[in-house]
Structure formats: C-alpha cells, structure tokens
C-alpha cells in the first residue's frame, strides 16, 4: 500500500493505474485492482479520532463505536475497487453535506464540551472535501470508461435500538431513479435476503424500511453522475454484540464470502442491461 497525496491519487485514477493507497493524512483508503464498472464504498467504516479532540469530546470511545459501521469495508474487501473512510464520523461525517458534517450533538447527546475552534473544523472539513475530490475522479473515470456504473454503498445500523422487528438488510432508494433501475434494486434485495448467516441468524431484506437512502455519498454521486446507480445497503448489526462491543468474525466472514460472488454477479447483470 502506498501513502499518496490527493493529487497523486487522482492522477493515478486518470491514468488508469492499478494501486492501493492511503491518503497522506490517513483519512481514507482506496484500492483499485482492476478498472471495472462497479465500486464499493464504506464511508463509516473508520474509527480514528484526532487526539486534539479527545479532551473536548463528551462521547465515550464506546459511544462512538456504537454509531459507526465497523467491518463494512471487510465485507467488500475482495472486490476490485473499494474506497473507505478511516476517520470516525464523530470527527466529520462523510455521509453528510460539508455544512452538516461536523456534529454539535449526536443521537440526542451534546458532543463537545466547548465549541470547536475554526481551525479544528477546517482541518476536518478539508478531509471531507479531499475524499469527495477522489470520489468524483473515480466515478468520472468509470463512467467515461464503461458508460454506466454501479456503486455499492455499504453501511450498518443498530438493530437493538428499534422497538419492532427490523430487516437484516435495508436498501434505501429515496434518492435514486427507481423507474430506471427498479429491476436492479429488487434483484439486489432478493440477493441480500438469501445471505447465509451462521448462528441461526435470519436473513431478511426490505426496501426503505428503516432508512430511505438520504446519505450525502449517494446524493453526491447521483446528482453529479447521471449514469451511476448507488445502492445504499445497510446490514443490521447482527455481526456484533452492540451492547458488549464484541465483533462476531464468523458472521462478517460469511457476509464477505457470499458477496464475493453475488455482488459481482449483480454488477455484471446491471452492466449488460444498462451499458450505453
């Protein structure tokens, strides 16, 4: 893995180079093993939290972990193109607009003892901006090369927070062209519903049941690239004990192994139907 500046990462994408890199400030990683018509993103996978913010933060390390999406990069790591955040959403949220990316409160609890100084905010927002410069370059290259593109936007959510039964998988489609891509949305839902999970974990999949796909990552790509479908894909945290902060690696591995083949098949079918 290389450590590269934003300009160097973008140059490699424009040159269609194969590479794996971490950004110079260690805020995100990107891997391109092959230029294909699909990519995977895990914007909330990160847990890093800048040391200068520690003493000012009212949320504990566990509270931050609880709201992050651990292991979502791991679930799609085998695919040719993967981009993933390394920083905690509590520093800045890559799935929110720049104007709302830095929280003042989070899930009903004030986040900072004292308001953040401008220079600290600016440092975080620069990372947010740089990430989207790379996203823009990546999707532009894939649309240029293949005409159409599909992005699997991987997230997880806290199922124990809900007081009703919730699906193992949720697809948020509120901001994509359902008329154009309805078949691909439904086929992805059906694939997810068949995910084999250990420990007698039931696999169900619904559309717009718990979340509607209102994240900035999806909106940014959809608004800037007319021939790219983003599938906001949320797995309930059945792969960990949310309350005890224990990960279940056998469940993560089962998801990763299943998506290794089924996600690729889905992307290939999408391309055959929609290539220009």
Domain at 261, CATH number:
3.40.630.40
pLDDT of 104:
95
Determine, yes or no, domain membership for 276: no
Q: What is the pLDDT of residues 214-245, one digit of tens each?
A: 999 999 999 999 999 999 999 999 999 999 99
Q: How far apart (Å, rounded) are the C-alpha atoms in residues 155 and 13? A: 25
Going by their DSSP bridges, the two strands 205-207 and 81-85 should be labelled as unpaired
**Domain span at residue 43?**
2-270
| pTM of the predicted protein model | 0.97
Q: What is the pLDDT of residues 78-130, one digit of tens each?
A: 999 999 999 999 999 999 999 999 999 999 999 999 999 999 999 999 999 99
The total of structural domains in the chain comes to: 1
Determine, yes or no, domain membership for 67: yes
Which two tokens mark 10? 């973008």
- DSSP H or E stretch at residue 155: strand 149-157
pLDDT of 276:
76
- Mean pLDDT over 146-156 rounds to 98
């Amino acid at each position: 893995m290389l450590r590269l500046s934003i300009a160097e990462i973008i140059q490699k994408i424009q040159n269609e180079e194969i590479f794996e890199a971490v950004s110079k400030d260690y805020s995100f990683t990107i891997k391109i093993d092959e230029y294909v018509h699909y990519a995977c993103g895990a914007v909330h996978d990160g847990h890093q939290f800048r040391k200068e913010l520690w003493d000012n933060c009212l949320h504990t390390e566990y509270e931050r972990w609880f709201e992050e999406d651990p292991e979502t990069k791991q679930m799609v790591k085998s695919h040719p193109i993967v981009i993933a955040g390394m920083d905690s959403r509590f520093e800045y949220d890559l799935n929110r607009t720049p104007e709302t990316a830095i929280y003042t409160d989070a899930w009903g609890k004030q986040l900072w003892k004292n308001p953040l100084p401008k220079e600290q905010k600016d440092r975080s927002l620069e990372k947010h901006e740089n990430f989207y410069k790379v996203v823009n370059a990546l999707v532009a290259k894939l649309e240029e090369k293949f005409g159409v593109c599909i992005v699997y936007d991987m997230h997880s959510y806290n199922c124990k927070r809900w007081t009703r039964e919730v699906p193992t998988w949720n697809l948020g489609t509120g901001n994509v062209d359902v008329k154009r891509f309805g078949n691909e949305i439904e086929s992805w839902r059906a694939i997810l519903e068949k995910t084999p999970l250990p420990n007698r974990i039931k696999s169900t999949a619904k559309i717009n049941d718990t979340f509607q796909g209102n994240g900035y990552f999806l909106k940014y790509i959809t608004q800037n690239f007319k021939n790219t479908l983003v599938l906001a894909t949320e797995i309930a945290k059945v792969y960990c004990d949310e309350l005890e902060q224990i990960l279940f690696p056998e469940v993560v591995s089962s998801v990763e192994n299943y998506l290794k083949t089924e996600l690729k098949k889905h992307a290939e079918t999408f391309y055959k139907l929609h290539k220009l």
